[in-house]
Structure 1
Amino acid sequence: MSQSDILLSAKGIDVTYGAKRHLFGPAGGGIKVLHSVDIDIRCGETVGIVGESGSGKTTLGRALLRLVDISAGTIHFDGKDITHMPDAEMRPLRRRMQMIFQDPMASLNPRHTIRRILVEPLLLHGLATNRRDAERRVAAILDRVTLPHACLDRNPHELSGGQRQRVGIARAALLEPDFVLADEIVSGLDVSTQAQVLNLLKELSRDLGLSMAFISHDLSVIRAVCDRVYVMRNGRVVEEGDCERVFAAPASSYTRMLLDAIPLPEIDPHWLGRKSLIEEASDA
């Protein structure tokens, strides 16, 4: 993998929760939840991060975005070392590194209309010259994510779960990011809505040239949308590789256990030419 192809790279990442800071010397104690994790994400690539609950996958995702502090290791974004970059210097990069949350109700202000939720970030980041321009951009993205324009004057609680998740996707896409972290974004949706949301993400990633990290406990979802996958267990990466190879011939016994635990069709050498469970559900 050429270094020039890599948008986001983390090396030797440790995260410890509850460590006590001392007046002299490094922090100590606490619970270590990530152990020397390495991950690279290429430009335009969708990478899956998969594992059971408590495996550390969400902590890793938040560490990549500098939303949690790391206790060891380095993080580079677009060639810049952002490991300990001050907030003032990180601010311009925040727009380029977006997150779509598992629970959109927790990330959408319940007191704001969808119009305000989508328009204000455009004005804040200077991506729209005025409110009229912002409204035009919002109307275009609503069409893209197949949300009716009537949603604009509603509050988040007045929308369905799938509609709220589309608002989260629209908000991230509006800011023209280079990298998007999607954290278990379809876990609370029915299979048909999952298919629609995943197909939407695949289209946006392709059309906008996004790099994406897709966190999930469901290997069938990872198989549907990702190019490569990192399998995590107890805060460590136990397997990494192209989805084709990992699904066809997993090297780790833990990966084999995950594959055995979900209702995937039998994998043959031509599995890439077959429809995934998600695609089959969307056709149903």
Structure 2
Amino acid sequence: MSASDILLSAKGLDVTYGAKRHLFGPADGGNRVLHSVDIDIRRGETVGIVGESGSGKTTLGRALLRLVGLSAGTIHFDGRDITRLPDTQMRPLRRRMQMIFQDPMASLNPRHTIRRILVEPLLLHGLVTDREAAERRVAAILDRVTLPHACLDRNPHELSGGQRQRIGIARAALLEPDFVLADEIVSGLDVSTQAQVLNLLKELSRDLGLSMAFISHDLSVIRAICNRVYVMRHGRVVEEGDCEHVFAAPASGYTRMLLDAIPLPEIDPTWLGRETAQEDAA
């Protein structure tokens, strides 16, 4: 694997919360959450980050997006060192590095219509020349995520959980990102709705050439969508490799424990069309 194959690379990431800062010398104390974590994400691949609650996986994801401060380590995006870029220089990169949140209600403004939630980012980032062009792109992405156009004039609370999550996916995809971080986005959904969302993400990743980091505690979800997986425990990566190899022959005792503790059912892709139609008709 050459350096040009890697879109996002992090080396030696440390994150410590609550450290005491001093006028002279380094900060000390606090709770060290990440311990010298290395991770590479290739262009066009989906990488799973899995572990129990408190393993540091969400902190790692937010660190990759520069949403939490680093105590040590470096992050390179598309060959550029972004570790210490000021906000003014990070802002143009934010469009290329999108996040889909676990709780769509927390990330969608409850006072805005879905139309406004989807149209305004296109205009803000200059991806369209006028509102009419933005409306056309929004209509097209709604078709892609199998949502009726009637939902545009609704507020988030008027949609089901699965529909809200698909709006979150649509909002991220509209901005034509290179990298998407999906943080536990199916954990609150029933199994059939999980299947819809996972198949949708796989289709978008394939068609748009996205690189993705998918954070989950559920190994069956990781197996369904990811090419490679990083297994985390206590803020450290304890195993990394192709999903097929890691699931078939885990090298870490912790990974074996996770596999033994969690059933790994197959996800039936035919659920996507059937359940989506049922949900939209409800």
Deviation at 1:280, TM superposition (A): 7.4
- Alignment-mate amino acid for residue 267 of structure 2: L
- Which residue of structure 2 lines up, in the alignment, with residue 277 of structure 1? 267
- Which residue of structure 2 lines up, in the alignment, with residue 215 of structure 1? 215
- Which residue of structure 2 lines up, in the alignment, with residue 269 of structure 1? none
SS in 2 for 1:251: coil
SS in 1 for 2:255: helix
Q: How does 1:175-254 map to 2 (within 5 A)?
A: 175-254=175-254
- Alignment-mate amino acid for residue 165 of structure 1: Q
Contact residue 42 and residue 211 of structure 1 kept, 8 A: yes
1:223, 1:279 → 2: CA distance?
14
SS in 1 for 2:146: coil
1:236, 1:94 → 2: CA distance?
26
SS in 1 for 2:49: strand
1:153, 1:43 → 2: CA distance?
36
2:179, 2:211 → 1: CA distance?
5
- Which residue of structure 1 lines up, in the alignment, with residue 64 of structure 2? 64
Deviation at 1:279, TM superposition (A): 3.7
SS in 2 for 1:277: coil
- Which residue of structure 2 lines up, in the alignment, with residue 270 of structure 1? none
Contact residue 141 and residue 174 of structure 2 kept, 8 A: yes
Q: How does 1:1-284 map to 2 (within 5 A)?
A: 1-264=1-264, 276-277=266-267, 279=269
1:208-261 Cα deviation digits (max 9, x unpaired): 000000000000000000000000000000000000100000000000000001
Contact residue 41 and residue 211 of structure 2 kept, 8 A: yes
1:74-130 Cα deviation digits (max 9, x unpaired): 000000000000111111100000000000000000000000000000000000110
SS in 1 for 2:41: strand
1:210, 1:44 → 2: CA distance?
5
1:31, 1:172 → 2: CA distance?
32
Q: TM-score, normalised by structure 1?
A: 0.95
Deviation beyond 6 Å, 4+ runs, structure 1: none
Q: Mean alpha-carbon deviation: is it higher for 256-265 or for 86-95?
A: 256-265
Aligned residues: 274
- Alignment-mate amino acid for residue 251 of structure 1: A
- Inter-CA distance 278–33: structure 2 relative to 1 (3 Å threshold): farther
- Alignment-mate amino acid for residue 132 of structure 1: E
2:24, 2:48 → 1: CA distance?
40
1:138, 1:279 → 2: CA distance?
25
1:171, 1:51 → 2: CA distance?
27
1:153, 1:281 → 2: CA distance?
27
- Inter-CA distance 278–69: structure 2 relative to 1 (3 Å threshold): farther
1:177-220 Cα deviation digits (max 9, x unpaired): 00000000000000000000000000000000000000000000
SS in 2 for 1:129: coil
Deviation at 1:281, TM superposition (A): 5.8
1:229, 1:103 → 2: CA distance?
23
* Structure 2: tracts of 5 or more residues without a match: 276-282
Deviation at 1:2, TM superposition (A): 1.1
- Alignment-mate amino acid for residue 34 of structure 1: L
* Structure 1: tracts of 5 or more residues without a match: 266-275
Deviation at 1:7, TM superposition (A): 0.1
1:26, 1:279 → 2: CA distance?
52
- Inter-CA distance 160–64: structure 2 relative to 1 (3 Å threshold): same
1:239, 1:161 → 2: CA distance?
33
2:198, 2:145 → 1: CA distance?
11
Contact residue 224 and residue 278 of structure 1 kept, 8 A: no
Deviation at 1:154, TM superposition (A): 0.5
2:263, 2:32 → 1: CA distance?
33
